[in-house]
Amino acid sequence: MMRSGSGAPAYLDYAATTPVDARVAAAMSECLTLEGVFGNPSSAHHYGRQARSLVERARAQAAALIHAPAPQLVWTSGATESNNLAILGTARAAPQRAGHIVTARTEHKSVLDACRRLEHEGFQVTYLHPDSEGLIDPAQVRQALRPDTLLVSLMQANNEIGVLQDIDAIAAICHERAVPLHVDAAQSAGKLEIDVQRSGIDLLSFTAHKIYGPKGVGALYCTNARRTQLQPLIYGGGHERGLRSGTLAVHQIVGFGVACELAAAERVADSAHAERLRTQLWQGLSAIGQALLNGHATRRVPGILNVSFGGVEGESLLMGLTELAVSTGSACNSDSDEPSYVLRALGRDTQQAQSSLRFSLGRFSREQDVALAIAAVGREVRRLRAAAP
């Protein structure tokens, strides 16, 4: 893989975003210029029909990644918009404009903020508490359901700590009670085998830039039954069968489709590679001492590792790691000085939450990146502990 320049830090932040695969970029480049397929896919002429053909091919490629019928995918700008469309669209389509939503305290901000918006509009929301390893017991979902529950929204793989929820068991409970289930799969699509029809998932969000595709494009899977009970967020033109108006970005959609096809073909190898490097990284970091693994040890998506280091402060640690590109949590919360709400929900105290780093590995990560990370973190942790009062 080409690096961004000599002396560039080792990239260990794949959970924030992935580099675009060269094969994806090549496909996208063919949809931009006069010599390529640049037309508006809503146009009836030759150029529009060319573009529409590529859009629908990409829809089939993306749908195949989650074993969904292609017509049940709606293009969006990414997982944030998909999550908002699933949650706000379901709630606002309710006949009485009132009802109950179930989610968890450790969800992505795009889910939590959408739910808080609904609370301002008169809806009620139950926020489930995970256990100390970040897991939601499916029995909690069963207990939270009410006669007026409109939707359960839970992520499959947590974006900060990587733990995996038992989506199949939760889906079975929701179907038993005839409550639709929405799954945020931004961190799991392309890394785990997902079959929305077998699992009984009603709505599922995923995005291109977590699987080596471009930023700015995602999709929402929704069953035919759910589609008729969603209110759109964007109006004007009636694109995507009325659920998402706006001219489709053909080059981004084509890139998403190719990224999904590659993810399906290379998922087993990519996951094994990321898991092997993650295991090596944890072995090295745990040897530093006072290193606490955040999240369940084995029920986790390949590639994400979140560790708290006793006796140090996370921001100071991060500032010293100039040879690494890592984060202290979700990229969506990078401007906040508050300790991670995900780690606080697990019962971590302020010091533990503030001393955490999230490492995430992917397709282009190398063993030398892991070795560099172990050495650099060890050096900075020892330096900060020695300087502490």
Query: Which residues are known catalytic residues?
Result: 332
Q: Using CA atoms, how far apart are residues 71 and 52, in angstroms rounded to an integer?
A: 14
Instruction: Quickly list H helices, the chain.
Output: 22-29, 46-65, 79-92, 109-120, 138-144, 167-176, 196-199, 224-227, 250-286, 314-320, 341-345, 350-354, 367-387
- Structure token pair of residue 149: 């529950």
Q: Which amino acid, 228?
A: T
CA angle 379, 274, 4 (to 5 degrees): 65
Please name the residues in contact with 152: beta carbons below 8 A apart, sequence gap of 6 or more.
101, 102, 103, 141, 145, 170, 174, 179, 180, 181, 182
Q: Using CA atoms, how far apart are residues 22 and 156, in angstroms rounded to an integer?
A: 28
Whole-number CA gyration radius for the chain: 21
Q: Which residue from 101, 79, 224, 112 is spatially nearest to 174, judged by alpha carbons?
A: 101
Residue 383 CB burial class (10 angstroms; 0-12, 13-18, ≥19): middle
